[in-house]
Amino acid sequence: MKLIGSAIIFTICLRIAASIRCYECTSSNNSMCLDPTIYDKETVKNFLRSTDCEQGVFSARHKDFFCRKIVQTILHKNHDSEVRVTRGCGWVRHHRDCYKADNEDHLETVCQCFNDDCNRGGTLDSLSPMLIPFSILVLRF
């Protein structure tokens, strides 16, 4: 029984550690994407999509996913500049956690992070309180 319980716990922990969830949005069609930290958790849960990166189109070729946030200032020639934020999964890491790019028509800041929903909580945090008592119970008997 202990061996089966240990195997179940190991499988759950391995799956949790292997996947990452990231917000996936763009402020061009969802203004909440600009700054989700100003909203309560329930509102964010209902209106801002969080995606398991391993379930996406690129998951067959990439395994080392992370979350990314891109802030672009679009420079228009005849009117005011516009700020856009894009959040999603990334798979090609940069050697710095944040970097800036200055292009002809826009300025860009790209940041990458390595926790679920870029440090707003996630699968491991929500399962940990349940996993510890379950582990003790299974391993005790």
Average pLDDT, integer, range 41-57 = 88
Q: What is the pTM of this model?
A: 0.67
Alpha helices in the chain (DSSP H): 2-18, 41-47, 123-140
Residue 94 lies in a domain: yes
Residue 74 lies in a domain: yes
Residue 115 lies in a domain: yes
**Confidence grade of residue 100 (pLDDT, cut at 50, 70, 90):** very high
pLDDT at 27 > cutoff 90: yes
The gap between the terminal CA atoms of the chain, to the nearest Å, is 7
pLDDT at 52 > cutoff 80: yes
d(CA 18, CA 113): 15
Segments forming the whole domain that contains residue 32: 21-121
Residue 37 lies in a domain: yes
CATH number for the domain that contains residue 41: 2.10.60.10
Structural domains in the chain (count): 1
Residue 13 lies in a domain: no
Residue 11 lies in a domain: no
Q: What pLDDT sits at residue 118? A: 77
